[in-house]
Amino acid sequence: MIAHDDILAAASRIAPYALHTPVKSSAALDALSGASLFFKCENLQIGGAFKFRGAVNAVFALDQAAAERGVITHSSGNHGAALARAAKLRGIVAHVVVPEGAVPSKLDAMRAAGAIVHRCAPTQAAREAMTRNLIAETGATLVHPYEDPQVMAGQGTATLELLDEVPALEAVIAPIGGGGLIAGTAIALDPVDIPLYGVEPEGAADTLASLLAAERITHLVPDTICDGLRAVVGVPNFAIIAEHVLQVLTVSDMQCRAAQALAAEHLGMVIEPSSATVLAAVLASPELFAGKRVGLILTGGNV
């Protein structure tokens, strides 16, 4: 688990490397939603996704002896590329276990960033088994895509920046995949009284199912275009969500596509379907956000 001080420490650690991304707004989107929307543009982060924050924090938090043995993770996309970039900055090796069926552009990004890529079957069990074997073989440190405390703390720094730039927010909304971003967001919001909403695609709504069951549901098979949100929510992540997130909303793939088009038209940006979930959710649930100042975290733009 992480505390607010961990996020403050992460902000200091990543400052020389990560971008302070802009916050954008649109009068047209405000009119459509009936709210004042402030988009934290992590699609403009290095590597095109928020994942760089957590990866840099985790890599530079390692002591020298551990760093020299390299790092390893399993990832279908943005986290793997982010870890490779962070490792390259520190001059160490990064291994990434990638399931078959990963988005080709994201696989290319990992290799371009210098990752040693290892392919596996497209199941969580296969990812974890190959990762364990490689750790035993190389001695590399696991930097889990969302359960690693340093990763969660790094992701929370985006919300620190949002709070600094936009006063008097009345709600924040972030996507949920494995839960690293929303966990960091929740702890970043801990000292302030701002409700936090999570959003999942209908075809990968394991967090909502888990909350309704009061235990983690891990058997659901994801079926969504939101490739960044197909992971099962992590153990520490779920605990933080259960305690800190006011409500988890769901949106359809069609609603995400429509939100992507609106972002392109009114914000002038290409965003991933996973990013589009936040705008889709606000538009689908106007009664929750009407008249409010809402911060939306756009997680990536790697389409």
Q: Which tens digits make up the pLDDT trace of 79-112?
A: 999 999 999 999 999 999 998 888 888 888 889 9
pLDDT at 69 over 80: yes
**Three-state DSSP class for residue 157:** helix
Task: In whole angstroms, give the CA distance from residue 204 to residue 194.
Answer: 26
pLDDT at 76 over 80: no
Model pLDDT, residue 22:
98
Q: Other C-beta atoms within 10 Å of 293: how many?
A: 17
Angle at the Cα of 26 from the Cα atoms of 20 and 28, rounded to 5 degrees: 165
Environment class of 222 (CB within 10 Å of its CB; exposed 0-12, middle 13-18, buried 19+): middle
CA dihedral 179, 280, 41, 26 (to 10 degrees): -160
CB 83 within 8 A of CB 96: yes
The domain spans of the chain are 4-50+150-298, 52-146
Query: What pLDDT digit, counting tens, does each position of 15-39 carry?
Result: 999 999 999 999 999 999 999 999 9
Report CA 277 to chain centroid distance, whole Å.
12
Mean pLDDT of the chain: 95
Task: In whole angstroms, give the CA distance from residue 70 to residue 113.
Answer: 15
Residues ≥6 apart with Cβ < 8 Å to 64: none
Task: In whole angstroms, give the CA distance from residue 146 to residue 63.
Answer: 21
The pTM of the full predicted model, rounded to 2 decimals, is 0.94
Q: Give the DSSP per-residue string, 211-230.
A: HHHTS----PPP--S-GGG-
CATH of 4-50+150-298, one of 3.30.2320.50, 3.40.50.1100, 3.90.950.20, 3.40.640.10: 3.40.50.1100
Structure tokens at 147: 């359960």
Q: What is the mean pLDDT of residues 112-125?
A: 88
Model pLDDT, residue 99:
87
Query: What pLDDT digit, counting tens, does each position of 211-236 carry?
Result: 999 999 998 889 999 988 988 999 99
Task: In whole angstroms, give the CA distance from residue 106 to residue 134.
Answer: 21
Residue 78 banded pLDDT, cuts 50, 70, 90 = confident
pLDDT at 180 over 80: yes
pLDDT at 75 over 90: no
- The architecture that CATH gives domain 52-146 is 3-Layer(aba) Sandwich (3.40)
CB 80 within 8 A of CB 68: no
Q: What is the mean pLDDT of residues 264-283?
A: 97
